[in-house]
Structure 1
Amino acid sequence: MHEPDQDEIIRALSEELVARARDGGQNPGVPFEETTAFKQFVASTQAQTVADTVAQVDYDLVIDEIVAEIPNGLIPIGNVEAVCPYCGKSLKKKPLKKTKCPACRNEIQVMRRPADGLRVLVTDEQVEDLEIQAFVEAGEYDKQIWLLKERMKKIRASGEQFWRCDAGIDAQVVPYEALCMHGKVVAVGSPEELEVLTILSAPGCIGMPVQIQGDRGFDPMDEIYASQRYERALEILQCLPKSRKNSEYAQKLRRMLG
């Protein structure tokens, strides 16, 4: 079936307008907004608007603005002294490796922090914070952001109106927001796209934008991503250390799993 080009659409619309001005047009009983000529014109205009939006999105600028809002300074984390990071009780001596606190029985982690190189006592959750700091300090975050920008440029160059978020939920550290957004399809230039890019711009995120293949309305990948979200959430919940079993993060995972 022949698809009319823009010139043909404009010509048909003009002919309909002229005909209606003379004798009511081909179908006087049909409102102008319901005519084929008008519908084709509206559809072509909307398509052009979307194409213009795709072409105009400056992903370098968008991502730079997101990164500017993300705290990534080397804030000192953990206890330098022989004090439990969980309950605050003093220890007989400062441990050199992972050990249980005699008072609260939580496992105290021992790490060197990037801020000053000191060996500190930290909680399980603070370990993740220190690993992110080390990631940034090593220059890996700059590489992550550069790669994200390059991938988004490919999305823009493709002219596609939608893309899918692979949130990198196989990473060792997976924010709850990343689990929720994994597999989500977003429109170029939409508020949801900004939300997803914020997640992909988080330090240490190994996620990426993925181009959609085929019909977006009948994409079998939806079920695959849903299964991945469920299985990964269950795995994370089962592997959480004792100190985080009742955390807000754990509670959110339980709600996700139903």
Structure 2
Amino acid sequence: MKKRITLALISLVLALILVAPVVVSAADQGKGPPDLERIVFIHSKFQDVKPGGNTSKNPALYSYSRYHWSSPTIPYYYNPSGSPVTNAEQGVTTSFATWNDTASSVYFDYKGITTAYVPGVDVALPDYKNVVGWAKLNDPDTIGLTIIWSNSKTKLVVDVDTVFNLDSWLTWSQTSVSGDPDTAPLLTNTSAYDCDVQGIMTHEAGHWLVLNDLYTNAAAAQTMYGYASDREVKKRSLESGDIAGVLKIYP
């Protein structure tokens, strides 16, 4: 899946698509020009993980950064431009609704389709419009990424965008899954790396809450586990650690 990378590594890993400095200045709604920080979560294909006990659904299995939204109501848009999946919008909105269905106060508010480019990928500053969209990324091992802009002083999130990779080595789909995604059949096998729009976006939506990736065997059952396996759909549903994390941030 994704790694949270340090600011120093962004230019090395994302040289083609992230060209601006990581910390920049921008207007702050009448309060002067504070520094903005950019955080990037990279969602990668499955790799060997660190040892850390057996696979578990322990409620303590989450990692939360200090960044947060000023309001638990988070608006977002979807840009279908370039999408290889006709019903991807359904997968995107359902993934956010999964987090809305927890007992937390967080609410992702879908505002509809936008024609705006996915900000953060092709511009130096946030546009304060949270967008999910598509673009071809440099690294074929990257399934997608989430870019977070925040105020470096208050740690308040001001803009988030998620990009699905259009690399030809990845095959995207949004299919109907009956019953528990943890035990549902895998996606149809193709010659490429098969990715589930809804499952990938459910994980990415956790990053919108600035939950971190988990990289131990003990966390393999969690939606915020840091890698995505070929053909998996299990990340569509939240596990105990994911739910504990969002309840910690937005009780």
Q: Point out which structure has higher relative CO (alpha carbons under 8 A, 6+ apart).
A: 2
TM-score normalized by structure 2? 0.23
Larger-gyration structure (1/2): 1
In terms of fraction of residues, the more helix-rich structure is 1
In terms of fraction of residues, the more strand-rich structure is 2
